Amino acid sequence: MIREILVYPNKKLKKISKEVEEFDESLHSLLEDMKETMYANEGIGLAAIQIGVPKRVLIINLTDEDGNQNPDDLVEIINPEIIEADGKTIYQEGCLSVPSIYEEVERFEKIKVKYQDRFGKVVEEKLDGLMSIAFQHESDHLNGKLFIEKLSYLKRKKFEKEWKKKLKERK
Ligand code: QAP
Ligand code: CO
């Protein structure tokens, strides 16, 4: 089922999501809803809280070199942890919860992560490139953080101004 995406400044987006303890049918149906919702909105990543579910669940499906999004490349990530981080990288990020806004954000370049799959199996791997950035962006959602909160004071001001303008235009 396609669910509604919560948009900034919805207060639910600030919630700290809870660890998943049961790797059951309800988790699997949440993952299916997240996939449908992400594809319907042309996203490459989505955290459960973006559809109002405060659970530590996220999905990422990057596009390939030709810009095609292959569902076989979709990764389901439960209870993510970053256990090592190295270097810095800057990328112009967007977010389905902050539509039409793209700003440069600094992240770790390489990370070592630990998470669980939909059956509870523990996975440990090293990530770099866009996958590392997406993992950090989506993990921040589970702690109630949006990418716009990582902007400098001046850039945040600029964003708030742009956002107000966009709100008026949408009405
Ligand atoms: C998070 O972002 C991310 O403004 C996923 O109008 C960000 O899927 C991963 C989107 C940066 C890696 C790097 C945004 C779609 C999608 C919009 C998204 C929009 C339509 C964003
Ligand atoms: Co986001």
* Predicted confidence (pLDDT) per residue in 94-113, tens digit: 999 999 999 999 999 999 99
**63 Cβ closer than 6 Å to some ligand 1 atom:** no
Q: pLDDT per residue over 19-65, tens digit each?
A: 999 999 999 999 999 999 999 999 999 999 999 999 999 999 999 99
Ligand 1 atom at shortest distance from the alpha carbon of 38: 8
Q: Which of 32, 106, 138, 149 is catalytic?
A: 138
Q: Which residue pairs, CB below 8 angstroms and at least 24 apart, start in 160-167?
A: 162/101, 163/8, 163/98, 163/101, 166/100, 166/101
Q: What's the pLDDT tens digit per position in 107-145?
A: 999 999 999 999 999 999 999 999 999 999 999 999 999
- Catalytic residue list contains 93: no
Residue 52 Cα to ligand 2 middle (Å): 13
CATH code for the part of the protein at 11-170: 3.90.45.10
Residue 170: the pLDDT is: 80
Domain ranges, ordered by start, for the chain:
11-170
38 lines ligand 1 (CB under 6 A): no
- Per-residue pLDDT at 141: 99
Ligand in nearest proximity to the CA of 134: 1
The reported pTM is 0.97
Q: For residue 45, how far is its CA from the centre of ligand 2 (angstroms)?
A: 7
Ligand 1 proximity of 96 Cβ (cutoff 6 Å)? yes
